[in-house]
């Protein structure tokens, strides 16, 4: 049996973990201001995940999506980042429609483990070994960001480099708790394989959400 997204109320309600205005801290858009919407629910189960509090959607109330959209509008943002958890467990068509109607750019951070819903100005794909991405998302991802915990993860990164489009931006990001031990490997690798760039969790250095 294939994986199916958890679609409740056609996306007019979503399990909201938190929403806040901040600065993007990872990948291609590092340093850009954005409004973040974190949704509950994730069954990917990364051992190093720093948002485990979001995994169980039952711990987070279903909130009217219209209310979430209104909060984003009133924040004054020009872009929204939808993250999780794994946000594609939910139908995001309604959310994106409401944001775009108000001329807000839509960005998503996803493992790609579930089929895409919603209309996106930027798709950041961060594939995980536990639940690899569905094929369709690889061909449309704007950014490939692979978390590197150990040297063998570089092979995993190259596997997905071969599946994304030519213009996709490529990033290797050290797993935070292994930073000191793995960053020399990443630096050496990027020096020899210059299609890749290094992504750092800049928000953690700046002590911002």
| CA–CA dist 209, 24 (Å, integer) | 9
At 49 the pLDDT is 63
CA distance between the termini of the chain: 38
At 87 the pLDDT is 95
User: Is residue 164 included in any domain, yes or no?
Assistant: yes
User: Is residue 196 included in any domain, yes or no?
Assistant: yes
At 207 the pLDDT is 75
| Parent domain of 185 | 9-205
| CA–CA dist 41, 127 (Å, integer) | 17
Residue (of 106, 16, 29, 30) closest to 63 by Cα position: 16
User: Is residue 1 included in any domain, yes or no?
Assistant: no
CB atoms within 10 A of CB 47: 9
The torsion defined by the Cα of 34, 134, 167 and 187, in degrees rounded to 10, comes to 80
Residue (of 119, 98, 90, 117) closest to 107 by Cα position: 119
At 7 the pLDDT is 47
> Which CATH number characterizes residue 135's domain?
3.20.20.70
φ, ψ at 112 (rounded to 5°): 75, 10
- Positive or negative, the CA dihedral 97, 99, 105, 110 is negative
In the chain (209 residues long), the average pLDDT of successive 10-residue segments reads 50 94 94 95 69 69 95 97 93 97 97 95 94 92 96 95 97 92 96 97 77
User: Is residue 129 included in any domain, yes or no?
Assistant: yes
Q: What angle do CA 49, 69, 46 make, to 5 degrees?
A: 10
Q: Count how many domains the chain has.
A: 1
User: Is residue 3 included in any domain, yes or no?
Assistant: no
SS3 category, 104: coil
């Amino acid at each position: 049996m294939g994986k199916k997204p958890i679609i409740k109320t056609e996306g007019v309600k979503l399990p909201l973990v938190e929403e806040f205005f901040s600065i993007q801290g990872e990948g291609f858009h590092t340093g850009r201001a954005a409004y973040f919407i974190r949704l509950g629910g994730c069954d990917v189960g990364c051992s190093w995940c720093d948002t485990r509090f979001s995994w169980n959607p039952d711990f987070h109330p279903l909130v009217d999506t219209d209310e979430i959209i209104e909060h984003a509008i009133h924040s004054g943002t020009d872009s929204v980042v939808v993250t999780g958890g794994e946000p594609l467990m939910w139908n995001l068509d309604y959310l994106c429609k409401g944001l775009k109607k108000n001329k807000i750019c839509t960005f998503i951070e996803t493992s790609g483990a579930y089929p895409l819903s919603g209309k996106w100005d930027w798709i950041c794909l961060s594939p995980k070994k536990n639940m690899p991405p569905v094929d369709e998302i690889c061909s449309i991802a704007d950014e490939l960001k692979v978390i590197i915990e150990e040297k063998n993860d570089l092979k995993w990164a190259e596997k997905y480099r071969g599946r994304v489009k030519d213009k996709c931006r490529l990033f290797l990001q050290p797993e935070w708790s292994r930073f000191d031990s793995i960053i020399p490997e990443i630096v050496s690798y990027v020096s020899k394989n210059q299609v890749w760039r290094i992504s750092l969790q800049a928000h953690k250095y700046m002590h911002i959400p």
